[in-house]
Every structure is written in C-alpha cells, then in structure tokens.
A and B are shown apart, each in its own frame.
Chain A
Amino acid sequence: MAKQYAMIVQVAKCIGCQACTVACKFQNEVPDGQYRTKTPAIGPKGTYPNLSLFFEKEACQMCKNAPCVKVCPTRASYKNEDGVVLVDVDKCVGCKYCMTACPYDARFTNAKTGAVDKCSFCYEIRVGNGQKPACVSTCVGGALEFGNINDSNSDAAKLLAKYKAQVRKPEFGTIPNVYYIYEGVK
C-alpha cells in the first residue's frame, strides 16, 4: 500500500510555546515576517469560571483533493507519491491562483524567491532521511505526531485509531491529512 504521510495535532497537549513556529523558521529559512506554520491562541473565550483557551497549529493541511494542485497552471504545485503536497519552485511563476484556492490560507509568496511557499512536512530535508518534520521533533508538549497513516503500526495511525480526530473545514471536501484531536480541550 502506498504511503500517506499525515500530521496529528493533540490540541490539549499544546502549551502555545511556539517552538514549532521557530523550528520551522530555521529549518526552512523562511523570510522575515512569513510563516509556513504558526500556532495562534484561540480564545480566551467565555467568562470565569467557564473560560476556554487553546492553541491551534496552522499550516498546509496536505489535502488529498488539493484545490491548489487542481488550479496550478504550471503543475508547480503537485502531490507526490507519499501523499505530500509540494511546490516545485522552478516551475512556479507566482500567479497566486493557488493562494486564492486554498481555504486554509496556508500559502504565501516567498519574499525572497517570488514563488509560492508553504509547509512541506519537511519532506525533502528531513522525512527523506527518516526524520520527522522539524516542528514535530521540537514540540515541547508532545502535541505533534507524524507518520504514515496507511501503516497501522505507526504512532500516527495508532493515535487516529485511539482518538476521535477532526479535520479543518471538511465542508470543502478537501480531505486534509492534518488531523486535530480535541480530546481534553474544554
């Protein structure tokens, strides 16, 4: 069976430390003021004693039905054999059509190259060497997991089997490969 890499975010374990944001910045040399991933606070909502605050990691959702791949006029945005959506910088002309199509605002024009940029699951630089993405490796609270979910022995697949996971904006039919587990979030 072909691989399908996915990321699992256990929202309740995230303490909002932004180590993922920083790790991504230096692993991928993302220009100043731009982010492949960021983890904003959601809340605080409500009033004491019913307050709620959690952090939700944002990045490319690695959709199975990726709207960005469909609209790209040069095939610069593509999905590889392991189910990862990537950008071939050499083919990208910077038309931003993919950015208008992405419902997650996960893409931006790289200030240095002019090409579109986004999370790659650190596919070329880490996953190929058997490592996990920089954000996952560095995560302080152990909130992030990564792996091939078509392999039922992977940690990622086990988490999905154990908990009820959600994807962002399922109404668009994009079938993302970033899963959010809200178990324990009040």
Chain B
Amino acid sequence: MDITWGVSASHHLPWHWLIAVYLFLAGVSGGAFLTAALTDMYSKDHNIRIIRTGAYIAPVSIIIGLVLLVFDLGRPLHFWKLLINVNAGSVMSIGVFIISIFSGLAAVYGGIVWLASNSGKRITKGVHAAADEIAATGKGIQSLRKPVAILGSLFAVGTATYTGFLLSAVTTNGLWHVPFLGIQAVPFLPILFLVSAMSAGLAATLIGAGKSEITIYKKIDLVFIVLELILLAILYASIKSVFFSGTMGTIFWLGVVAIGLVVPFFLTVYSLAKHKSVVVPVSAMIVVGGLCLRFFVVYSGQMFK
C-alpha cells in the first residue's frame, strides 16, 4: 500500500461473512417459523414433528443470527442505541424492530409448543400432582398458540423480506439495488430472499421431520426450487456479468445453482416418483444453497458495485 505513488489503500469490504450468515439465519428462521405455524393451523395431519422442529429452529437461528450481528458492530456494547435512536427512513432502523418482535414471538411460540408436548407426556405418565399443575398452566397458555402463530407468521414474512430490503435500499450498489424485471419501484432482492428463506427454512425443518409422511412438503419445496431458478435466471439477465466472475461465479454456479437447486430438484422428483426418501441429503443441499446465495449476494455486491 503506497499511497504516494501507488494505488489508493486497498479497501476491504465493509460487510463480510458474519453478515452473510446472519442474513441466512434470519431467512431460515422465518421459513422454519412459517412451516411450523402453517402446519399447526391448517394441516389436517398436524404433523407434530414438523411443528416442533420448525418452532425450535426459528428462535434458535434468529437469536444466533442476532448475536453474530452484534459482534459484527464496531461497537458491540452500544447496540442498544439502535433501539433509542430511530431513523424511519433507514431500512435497518425499521428492521431492528421487525426482527426484535419476530424473535420475541418465535421464542414464545417455541415455548408454547414445548410446553404442550411436555405437559402431554406428563399427563400420560401421571407422575406427580405438580405435573398436573404444570399441565393446567400449560393449557392456559395454549390459548395463545393460535394468535402467536398468526402474528409470528406475519413477522416471519417481514423478517425474511427485510433481509432483502436491507441490501436493496443501498441505491449505489448495482447488484443489491437491481429492480425486479426493470420495474424501478419493485426491488428484486426482497422477493428472491423471501423465496429462498421459505425454501431453506422448510428444508431445515424437514431434516428434523424423521420418518413421518412429508410428501406434501416435498411438493411445496419443489415449487420453491422452480421459483428460485426462475428468479435467478431473471437476476442473471438483469445485472452485469462481472458479478458472476471469479470465486463469486463458482459460489453462484456450484453452490447456489447446482448444489442448492438443480440437484435437489432432480432428487426430489426422483424420490416422489419412486417413493424413496432422500429428504435429509436434499434438505441439507437446499440449506447449503441458501447460505451460498447470501454469501454470493453480500460479497459480489460489494466487490463489483
């Protein structure tokens, strides 16, 4: 670095892997919550393993994400100033509140689901009188289950979409700010990140679903995969090819497209046709693809802005 005669000091990227992982975890959390809450409210089978896995993944991953985020701050101990100094024109300022509320709702919902499954066990075993008491309070709290699921679902969508708006609000960045199909008022990333979040959150939840019947979920994931492939084709056509060059190109084509979408697509079709279960490897690949997508967007956007 010779600023007298050489080039200007090599600038490192402001946002690095912590932010990519955080955006990914926020997406997984939103997707897992929706998977659990919608199954809880609308599914006839009421697959308890899906509900439980999703309800636990949601608070855990969003809280890990928030911890990473605080550590990435230049002044981690000052994070609370985000809560008292508000800029309504800043997407991040609004997002702080969306994510905080969502984290709270996800934790409450996770707790309700945990209480329900736990008190159930204690009743059947019928051990102590104290256990019956816990079960009674548990039942009182259960009346909150539906309202929390509904409100949480709204904030889950808000959180997943927010991760896209956070980047798309940076108007000086050619990748992050790219509009959807050239329509200036509609940013592209919130749509892409919402679909990817639903897909990755559902996939993460299915890993914990065990041997239960999940054909419907596989079909839903297939829809997400196809949607995401279409969206990525639109993205590829909308931005400069330099964004897909070098290491970023490898992450995009190998991580996002091949491992994250194309292979899971064919394996899911195969498993539906042959009634074979490949759900764990397929879901793991989709989750890895979701992570690669956040890395690609965060890094490539800053490297070639």
Interface residue? B253 (CB, 8 A): no
Residue numbers in A under 8 Å from B89 (CB-CB): 70
* A115 and B85 in contact, given A67-B172, A71-B170, A172-B171 (Cβ under 8 angstroms): no
> Which A63-85 residues have a C-beta within 8 angstroms of B?
67, 70-76
Contacts of A101 in B (CB 8 A): 170-173
With an 8 A cutoff between CB atoms, is A31 at the interface?
A: no
Contact indicator A93/B75 (Cβ below 8 Å): yes
Q: Is the CB of B73 within 8 A of A93?
A: yes
Whether A95 lies near B92 (C-beta < 8 A) is yes
Beta-carbon contact of B15 and A96 below 8 Å: yes
Task: For A75, give the chain B residue with the smallest CB separation.
Answer: B87
Which of the listed residues A71, A91, A103 has the most CB atoms from chain B within 10 Å of its own CB?
A71
Asked if A58 is at the interface (CB within 8 A of a chain B CB), the reply is yes
A31-53 CB mask vs B (1 if < 8 Å, else 0) is 00001001111000000000000
Taking CB atoms, residues of chain A closer than 8 Å to B14 are: 96, 99-100
The answer to whether B172 touches A116, judged by C-beta atoms less than 8 angstroms apart, is no
The minimal Cβ–Cβ distance linking B284 to chain A, given in whole angstroms, is 31
How many positions in chain A have a CB within 8 Å of any CB in the partner chain? 38
Tell me the complex Cα distance, A72–B91, Å: 9
Q: How far is the CB of A81 from chain B (nearest CB, A)?
A: 19
For residue A4, CB closer than 8 A to chain B, the reply is: no
Q: A71-B90, A75-B87 given as contacts; is B9 within 8 A of A35 (CB)? A: yes
Bound Cα distance A109, B14 (Å): 9
Output the least CB separation between B235 and chain A (Å): 19
Binary interface profile of B, 58-75, with partner A (CB < 8 Å = 1, else 0)?
000000000000001111
Stretch at the interface among B76-84, B144-152, B213-221: B76-84
Q: Is the beta-carbon distance between A74 and B81 smaller than 8 angstroms? A: yes
Q: Is B6 an interface residue (CB 8 A)?
A: yes
B75 touching A114, Cβ below 8 Å: yes
Contacts A40-B8, A100-B14, A114-B75 known; A73 to B92 CB distance under 8 Å?
A: yes
Q: Check: B302 CB closer than 8 A to any chain A CB.
A: yes
- Is A113 positioned at the interface, with any CB of B under 8 Å from its CB? yes
Q: Is the CB of B75 within 8 A of A100?
A: no
Q: Which of A7-50 contact B (CB under 8 A)?
A: 16, 18, 21, 35, 38-41
Q: How many residue-residue contacts, CB under 8 A, span A and B?
A: 106
Complex contact A93–B81 (CB within 8 A): yes
The CA-CA distance from A172 to B171 in the complex, in Å, is: 8
A15 → chain B closest CB, angstroms: 11
* Cα of A76 to Cα of B87 in the assembled complex, Å: 10
B9-25 CB contact bits vs A (8 Å, 1 = yes)?
10100110000000000
Cβ 8 A contact of A74, one of B5, B85, B91: B85
A73-B87, A73-B93, A75-B85 in contact; A40/B74 too (CB < 8 A)? Answer: no
The residue of chain A having its C-beta at the shortest distance from the C-beta of B94 within the complex is A73
Let me know if B6 and A94 touch, CB within 8 A.
Answer: no
Separation of A74 and B169 alpha carbons in the complex (Å)? 16
Q: Does A62 contact B (CB under 8 A)?
A: no
CA distance A100 to B12 in the complex (A): 11
Residue on B nearest A94 in the bound complex, by CB: B74
CA distance A67 to B173 in the complex (A): 11
Determine if B129 is an interface residue (Cβ-Cβ < 8 Å). no
For residue B184, CB closer than 8 A to chain A, the reply is no
- Point out the residues of chain B lying under 8 angstroms from A102, CB to CB: 172
CB distance from B183 to the nearest CB of A (A): 19
Contacts of B8 in A (CB 8 A): 38, 40, 58, 105
Report A-chain residues with C-beta under 8 Å of the C-beta of B4. 16, 18, 41
Q: Which residues of B contact A71 (CB under 8 A)?
A: 90-92, 169-170
Contact A93 B78 (CB under 8 A): yes
B163 to chain A, nearest CB (A): 13
Instruction: Say yes or no for A92: interface residue by CB 8 A criterion.
Output: yes
* B7 within 8 A of partner (CB): yes
Which residues of A lie under 8 Å from residue B5 when comparing CB positions? 16, 41
Contact pick for A100, options B3, B85, B170, CB 8 Å: B170
- Determine if A97 is an interface residue (Cβ-Cβ < 8 Å): yes
**Chain B residue, CB-CB nearest to A91:** B85
Can you give 17 A-B contacts (C-beta < 8 A)?
A38-B3, A70-B89, A70-B90, A71-B90, A72-B90, A73-B90, A74-B81, A74-B82, A74-B93, A93-B78, A93-B82, A94-B75, A96-B74, A101-B170, A113-B74, A114-B73, A172-B172
| Closest A-B pairs by Cβ, 8 of them | A94-B74, A114-B74, A99-B14, A74-B85, A73-B93, A114-B75, A73-B92, A96-B14
